[in-house]
Amino acid sequence: MEQMTSSIHRQIPPVDTIINSPRLIPFIQKTSRSFIIGIVRRVLNVVRQEISSNTEKEISTADLNKIIFQKIHEEFLFWTEPTLKRVINATGVILHTNLGRAPINQDALEYATEIASNYSNLEFDLVRRVREKRDNHISRILENLLDCEQAIVVNNNAAAVLLVLNSLGSGGEVLISRGEMIEIGDSFRIPDILQQSGTILREIGTTNKTRLADYEQNINENTKLILKVHPSNFKISGFTSQTTLKELSSLSSKHSLPLVDDLGSGCLIDLTKFGIEDEPNPHTSLVDGADIVCFSGDKLLGGPQAGIIAGKSKFINKIRKNPLFRILRLDKVTLAILESTLLTYLKQCPDQIPVVQMIYHSEASIEKRVLKIIQRFSNKNSNLNLNIVKGFSVIGGGSAPSQKLGTWLISLRSKTHSTSKIDALLRSLDPPILARFEMDTVLLDLRTVFPQDDSLLAQSLENLAKS
């Protein structure tokens, strides 16, 4: 046995022989010789290990070579193809954090391509021939949209909260209700952000009730700021009450404390007609008395990842001067996408924004699309069964926790495949399809599938049925 393994080992060609094989020329041309040598070495190591652990099998030199070149090809593709790929989101979660949250509108991307692939007046005033601030392009639109004194932007809303707290509260106490000490998905926890910002947290009230008196009693000479946080991803119901912004506003001005409202999603359009009622509008929040609001660019706004800070000049000027502002600044690609996204709101056509379109889809229009796909799926003999089921889509991404949008779903069943097998097959397609599970059924929600992808989805299901 020992003898045989070592003889197979001897069959493995040396790196030099493989690297000079004409079959590798295209790979070397597309990358470099040293890169391909690295791949060959790794493949040979793997092959050696496989031979050592599989001693019984004999293998011809031709087969061995075939395996080696096959593996080199796979390894080449693994390293030279991007790992980020588009997927079809059939989960019905509109702002799916794992799937990139808000898909960005095509026009905004085309504009960003134009700006980013050329030089631009990013930080330059073309009329006065002087240096300008890069966020001026965004600020003017935001100030108009939110009717506020000033607005600035940073990398994301977590950064916005950190920057605001550090600029206005550092070294002092920040009052926050116990009911608002939240954690948002990917490890954004309010207490941790407060600690990082150099402020001292003063939790007040109880989880379900916090009254104005609780705030008032806790104000002392060290108090620097009152923070309100929108509990984006959960809702406490029952015997609850939180102090409103309006109530807090008179208290904060009496004590000359900035009142900061972290809105999370910050929705600029009225979603009440879709039954979504607990998404605060940044403008309303400012009118109700917040001195500063901050919210995400890639939640309900439907733009790129960004954090928007808006409100009173007195405070924004202080925030601007913080060196952290420079550290957290946006790059030109994001600025261009955000500018274009905000302009669609200014021009009163938010229905050009994919996230908004998805919320606007009526149940009837989704039902029609579902039926069309099911009817097209004529494969009678297939082992895949498609049915229409009533269900709900959610906004997700830490927005509107208790709000659901009625939808129609395609349920997938198979006599031969388990639900997890169907799910795995869907994920292995190109582009992968992400479904959701409910009661051991695989469900596809078309609300989050772009209508122009319906036929691609239908085709993929037909291919799947044949597999």
Ligand X SMILES: *Cc1c(COP(=O)(O)O)cnc(C)c1O
Site residues, ligand X (CB under 6 A)? 156-158, 161, 184, 188, 229-230, 232, 262, 264-265, 296, 307, 398
* Structure token pair of residue 358: 């998805």
Q: Which of 153/161 has CB closer to ligand X?
A: 161
Cis peptide leading into residue 431 (ω within 30°): yes
| Min CB(140)–ligand X separation in Å | 22
Element (H, E) at 237: none
Q: Which of 184/370 has CB closer to ligand X?
A: 184
Q: Which of 296/460 has CB closer to ligand X?
A: 296
Distance CA 138, CA 158 (A): 19
Instruction: Give one DSSP letter per residue of 259-288, joined into a string.
Output: EEEEEET---S--GGGT------HHHHHHT
| Min CB(300)–ligand X separation in Å | 10
3 state DSSP class of 6: helix
Nearest to 35 by CA among 45, 27, 25: 27
| Min CB(283)–ligand X separation in Å | 17
Q: What is the 8-class DSSP label of residue 104?
A: P
Q: Which of 193/384 has CB closer to ligand X?
A: 193
Q: Which of 157/357 has CB closer to ligand X?
A: 157
Q: Which of 190/359 has CB closer to ligand X?
A: 190
| Min CB(447)–ligand X separation in Å | 21
Burial of 238: CB neighbours in 10 Å, binned 0-12, 13-18, 19+: exposed
| Min CB(230)–ligand X separation in Å | 5
| Min CB(307)–ligand X separation in Å | 6
Q: Which residue is nearest to ligand X (CB)?
A: 264
Q: Which of 158/434 has CB closer to ligand X?
A: 158
Widest pairwise Cα distance in the chain: 90
| Three-class HEC string of 329-371 | CCCHHHHHHHHHHHHHHHCCCHHHCHHHHHHHCCHHHHHHHHH
Reported in sequence order, the residue ranges of 126-250 that DSSP labels E, i.e. its strands, are 130-131, 150-154, 173-177, 183-184, 188-189, 200-204, 223-229
| Min CB(232)–ligand X separation in Å | 3
3 state DSSP class of 195: helix
